[in-house]
Amino acid sequence: MELKDATNEELFEELYNRLNRMNREDEIKDALEKTLGHLHRTLQQNFFRHLIVPAVQYFAKQHEAGWYDLRNEASCETAVKMLPIVDEAALPFI
């Protein structure tokens, strides 16, 4: 798949596939830090606003609905704690 021609759904599927294959947390963290560090500050804010905040909201909803198990329970419980902060955050496009 050519990434430049991929739909958003295809890009996310590719990301999920790579996360599934990357079982070394340090590699994932290093790649994220390296690429985020080179992004324009506006794109960093967009990344947080459009990816991190919705992920926190999603996992908190999963917890509220009871749609989790031991594999993602910690993520869902952590999201519940983070939700008040991200819901109140002002993340403008600048």
Q: Residue 57's pLDDT is what?
A: 98
Q: Residue 40's pLDDT is what?
A: 96
How many Cβ atoms are within 10 Å of 56's Cβ, its own excluded?
20
Q: What is the mean pLDDT of each run of 10 residues along the chain (94 residues)?
A: 87 88 80 93 96 97 98 98 96 90
pTM across the whole model = 0.87
Q: What is the helix (H) or strand (E) element at residue 29, kind and residue range? A: helix 25-37
